[in-house]
Structure 1
Amino acid sequence: MGKRFNIAGPCISKKHYMVNMDNKLKKIESLIDKGDYFIINRPRQYGKTTLLSQIAKVFKEKYLIIRTSFEGIGDSVFEDEEVFSSTFFILIIDALRFIDEEKSNELRNLKVEIKNLQMLSSVITKFIQSTEKPVLLIIDEVDKASNNQLFLSFLGMLRNKYILSNDDMDYTFHSVILAGVHDVKNLKLRIRPDEERKYNSPWNIAVDFNVDMTFNSMEIETMLKDYSIEENVKMDTKAIAEKIYYYTSGYPFLVSKLSLLMEQNFKNNWIEDNIDKAVKLLLYEKNTLFDSLIKNLENNEDFKKFIEKIVLSGEEIVYVPSDSLISLGELYGFIKQENNICKIHNRIFEQYIYNHLTSIKARESENISNYNFRENFLTLDNGLDFEKVLLNYQKFMKEQYSNKDEKFIEYHGRLLFLAFIKPIINGIGFDFKEVQISREKRLDVVVTYNNHKYITELKIWHGEEYHKAGVNQLCDYLSIHSMDKGYLIVYNFNKNKKFIHETIYVRNKEIFIVYV
């Protein structure tokens, strides 16, 4: 069996195609060498366990590495100090069994009964004293216990040993790495069970982990080069890597998933256009990452409205790390900070959220099917009469929504258009959105249908000056796509507005405009 692209569990270099992680590992090595304690907290399917595997593999000659996990040990372990302490001791013994069997047996033969954290601390001290190499402790899936008071006490024990060892009063782990979704450094400590939580974290000794775990295009290209050589597949690895990064922003699972879809569906034709098709396939499948994305969106109405402001309205929301909704967005992997502004992490997430919201809006718009029957818009060259599509959308808005107020249309208008075109292109076409942050809050929609492409801009009327600027921006966008014709939907909230349409010619570009 040769290598393959992997989306299930950690990647293993001898089994899977992987990006080169040397630059990330060098930064992590610097932290470990300095004896730092840190937390790798990132969203689900972000490559945390794969990174821990690489750390254990690359640094095994320099450090005695105890790598374990709280996954699968059961919640009841964290309900009793004696049970937890003895269980953690066994986890250390089991971890050592595969890297230093002699040391593992030595600990096992102690047959000591560890009844509390203090006794566990004493055993750790003796163990560290007996080792020749500095010891690196890695604990994965710490979220399993992060809300438990006993776990906080365990962190407090490690913190105390760390402080004492710096004063030559104890022996402890050279470096500790905790991994999970949540940042346990910010957990609140409770002194007594009946007290409210305090802000003094038992893990405030941890340094910030600022290593970027996303993959840039050059890192993605290392994986593609490996694949192309192994499978004897010709491709422009640089261009393909940049296109994958364009859609994924380097989100590890999405990088691997897109590559897998390309291998499965376009193995001998790795070209940029097929990346677009692979994205379409990805957006119409179910997977645990997307399920988690939508679950987190729907379980919190305030968070959903926050995400909708970014996705639908293109609002510039200033990045403030202490804001609870922004923190949730980062925790779930929804958002990233770009020039101090909150942005959806990647284009695939943005599109998937659009599709979800569009589906809801289509169900709510009961009469929409009377206006968007696909066969009414087909052309002889297997394309769409897109002018007719927009005129029918205008008719739909006039007859169904002309009595709605400005606030409703501004919030829902864009989504209504996306819901309108979805059944027209479904199964054959593809629509992709680009929010342009500006005074107008433009939304560019690139619609493909078979081999045809239709670029439509949605904007709100803010006067003639902004309208002309918007038309010029659409012309620029058309030039980027090497196209001569574009479409413009203008939402006009003036009381004397008319539902009209027109064709104008600007900078050798033909622009068809409808006003709703």
Structure 2
Amino acid sequence: MRTFCTSGPVDKKTCYYVERPDIMEEALDHIENWRYFTVSAPRQSGKTTLLRDIVEKIKDKYLTIFISFESYEDKDKEDFLETLVMDINRSNKKIYGKKMELIIPQKIDKIRNLIEELNEKSGKEIVLMIDEFEKLDEKIMNEFLHVIRSMYHDKEIYGLRSVVLISVSYLSGILEDNASPFNIAEHMEVPYFTKEQVYDLLSQHEKETGQIFDEKVKELIWHNAAGQPGLTNGLAYDLVTKKAPGEKIITVEHFEKTLEDYMYVYIDKNIANILHKAEKEKELIMKILFEPGKVKFSIYDKRINFLYQHGVIDNCGGKCCVRVPLYYKALYTRFMPEINGEKNYMATINDTIKPYIKKDGSLDLNKLLERYTEYIKLRGAIMFKGRNYYEGVYQYNLDQFLSLYVEAAEGKVYPETQVGGGRIDLLINLNNREYLIEIKTNLTGNEYEKSKKQLVEYLKRSGLKEGWLVIYSDAIEDFKHEIEEIEGIKINVWFIKTNFESPSKVK
């Protein structure tokens, strides 16, 4: 019985496996056309699994060597050359079941002799694939690449058909620098799973076990992991082995427990790696998180390049964004602006959820937002005036306020949740009812109209008839609530004043 693989590379005999024909065809086309290329993708994205699959497809036609430089970081030249030959032989033994008697080069330049020797003894053209290439010492890397480049111009003579360098990010100095010793290389990225591939992965489990994922659960796995292979497999594995073992149907309730554990209990290696990389560019990631749509995406910005290549951010219509919702939620929690002690003002001992729950069990969100405006009137001068906060402080402030009340009624408030083909700022789920809230700051007239239309589209696609648009502005004189009907959809617009007198003048 196969299972969901949570640590790669994937063994097809024991793990569910998704075919990736497009990227496979591209790689095979490069090899057939004597191209040298680099492959990059964040960890747990399936790149090593893909490359091993390529080995299986070409090993009979070419002498395929697949090695890793993971342990090469501190090696000197002599140790590098000796280990290189040993690893080539280990690869030959694993793939072909036999070793060759090879001469260890005395200089890096003599690697060309090693390639000739491999070509002559095997009688085949060579495809050299090197994983974790970025671990190589920079000076040795530079010399090694010069040798590869020199052979590239006479590749037919050496029989070196293709060289594939694999890394978690763009290889420093290889792609950007025209003077690079390896600027003859193509570049190929390994994308995340498509929605169809995620569903294919889940259906393999359904067919083999008879256990079914509720359609909503499939959608939630797709949206929360955004096709990231490691997260997709991880969520599915947790559901079938820990949350619903023996159950015929994996339900939304099961998924909510898995999501809760991923956010607050488990130390997931994918999320931990994202948080670690984000810490290195804390100021930029906070701006991307809390001033959405404000940071222009540019691969030539080293900070953006670093976050992008490690899978932290993505390019969303020319702006930097965090595309994977699970990553966003983890980053949001880690980097959210501090609002110490505010809960004491958000809800006093006399405040309960009861006044905000209607007789039919639905949430009187407008009444709760009235209570929120009372809180802001009391604390706004301290919260918003003269503070160097990112705009996201407003979203987080409202999130904290609503959570305090909604969770008392065993409901949930979810930030940045996928709905109706987009991402809503806050989604409240209470008693199996959903409430969508879009948050904006200091809008122009055109942006205001666009925001209402966007919210209407989300609501229509979600099958809802009412939504909320909360606008924080330092240009309004007072708080106000307006109701507008657009295409049969009720839009509640709440204007929240942020322009207060300095805290010193507030008694």
Residue of structure 2 aligned with 1:480, choices 450, 458, 461: 461
Alignment partner, residue 74 of structure 2: 76
Alignment partner, residue 183 of structure 2: 204
Residues 1:490 and 2:471 are matched in the alignment: yes
Residue 95 of structure 2 aligns to a residue in which SS? coil
Residue of structure 1 aligned with 2:262, choices 261, 269, 282: 282
Residues 1:336 and 2:314 are matched in the alignment: yes
Superposed, which structure 2 residues align to 1:452-467 within 5 Å?
452-460=433-441, 462=443, 467=448
Alignment partner, residue 248 of structure 1: 225
CA 1:97/1:373 → structure 2, altered by over 3 Å: closer, same or farther? farther
Residues 1:177 and 2:177 are matched in the alignment: no
Structure 1 counterpart of 2:281, one-letter code = N
Alignment partner, residue 30 of structure 2: 31
Q: Distance in 2 between matches of 1:188 and 1:13?
A: 33
Cα deviation 1:370-401 (Å, max 9, x = unaligned): 31479712547766543343233222222222
| CA displacement at 1:248 relative to structure 2 | 2.8
Larger mean Cα displacement after TM superposition, 407-416 or 215-224 = 407-416
Residue of structure 2 aligned with 1:389, choices 354, 360, 368: 368
Cα deviation 1:81-114 (Å, max 9, x = unaligned): 2221122111111211223344x1433xxxx453
| Structure 1 unaligned regions, length at least 5 | 190-197, 437-441
Cα deviation 1:24-53 (Å, max 9, x = unaligned): 222211111112111111112211221122
Q: Distance in 2 between matches of 1:99 and 1:467?
A: 61
Structure 2 counterpart of 1:394, one-letter code = T
Aligned-pair RMSD on alpha carbons?
3.3
CA 1:53/1:334 → structure 2, altered by over 3 Å: closer, same or farther? same
CA 1:373/1:90 → structure 2, altered by over 3 Å: closer, same or farther? farther
| CA displacement at 1:123 relative to structure 2 | 2.7
Residue of structure 1 aligned with 2:416, choices 433, 436, 443: 433
Q: Distance in 1 between matches of 2:229 and 2:468?
A: 36
Residue 184 of structure 1 aligns to a residue in which SS? coil
Instruction: Tell me the TM-score normalised to structure 2 length.
Output: 0.83
Larger mean Cα displacement after TM superposition, 292-301 or 467-476 = 467-476
CA 1:372/1:407 → structure 2, altered by over 3 Å: closer, same or farther? same
Structure 1 counterpart of 2:179, one-letter code = N
Q: Distance in 2 between matches of 1:396 and 1:105?
A: 76
Superposed, which structure 2 residues align to 1:12-411 within 5 Å?
12-73=11-72, 75-77=73-75, 80-102=76-98, 104-107=99-102, 112=103, 114-145=105-136, 147-166=137-156, 168=157, 171-184=158-171, 186-187=173-174, 200-210=179-189, 212-235=190-213, 243-264=220-241, 265-266=243-244, 268-270=248-250, 278-284=258-264, 285-305=266-286, 308-309=287-288, 311-358=289-336, 361=337, 363-372=338-347, 376-378=352-354, 379=357, 384-402=363-381, 404-405=385-386, 408=389, 410=391
Q: Distance in 1 between matches of 2:104 and 2:298?
A: 48
Indicate if the aligned counterparts of 1:44 and 1:181 stay in contact, CA closer than 8 A: yes
Q: Distance in 1 between matches of 2:454 and 2:323?
A: 24
| CA displacement at 1:366 relative to structure 2 | 1.7
Alignment partner, residue 192 of structure 1: none
CA 1:226/1:465 → structure 2, altered by over 3 Å: closer, same or farther? closer
| CA displacement at 1:482 relative to structure 2 | 1.9
Q: How many aligned residue pairs are there?
A: 481
Structure 2 counterpart of 1:97, one-letter code = K
Structure 2 counterpart of 1:203, one-letter code = F
| CA displacement at 1:12 relative to structure 2 | 0.8
Residue 186 of structure 1 aligns to a residue in which SS? coil
| Structure 2 unaligned regions, length at least 5 | 497-507
| CA displacement at 1:327 relative to structure 2 | 0.7
Cα deviation 1:445-492 (Å, max 9, x = unaligned): 211134232212222354677656644543443222222333332213
Q: Distance in 2 between matches of 1:100 and 1:467?
A: 65
Instruction: Tell me the TM-score normalised to structure 1 length.
Output: 0.82
CA 1:446/1:277 → structure 2, altered by over 3 Å: closer, same or farther? farther
Cα deviation 1:430-455 (Å, max 9, x = unaligned): 4132699xxxxx96321113423221
Residue 376 of structure 1 aligns to a residue in which SS? coil
Structure 2 counterpart of 1:25, one-letter code = M
CA 1:369/1:164 → structure 2, altered by over 3 Å: closer, same or farther? same
Indicate if the aligned counterparts of 2:38 and 2:165 stay in contact, CA closer than 8 A: yes
Cα deviation 1:110-153 (Å, max 9, x = unaligned): xx4532223433232122122123222111111211x5201221
Cα deviation 1:343-391 (Å, max 9, x = unaligned): 3232222233223333xx3x43323333147971254776654334323
CA 1:23/1:514 → structure 2, altered by over 3 Å: closer, same or farther? closer
Structure 2 counterpart of 1:138, one-letter code = M
Larger mean Cα displacement after TM superposition, 28-37 or 114-123 = 114-123
Q: Distance in 2 between matches of 1:143 and 1:424?
A: 49
Residue 239 of structure 2 aligns to a residue in which SS? helix
Q: Distance in 2 between matches of 1:422 and 1:133?
A: 65
Residue 183 of structure 1 aligns to a residue in which SS? coil
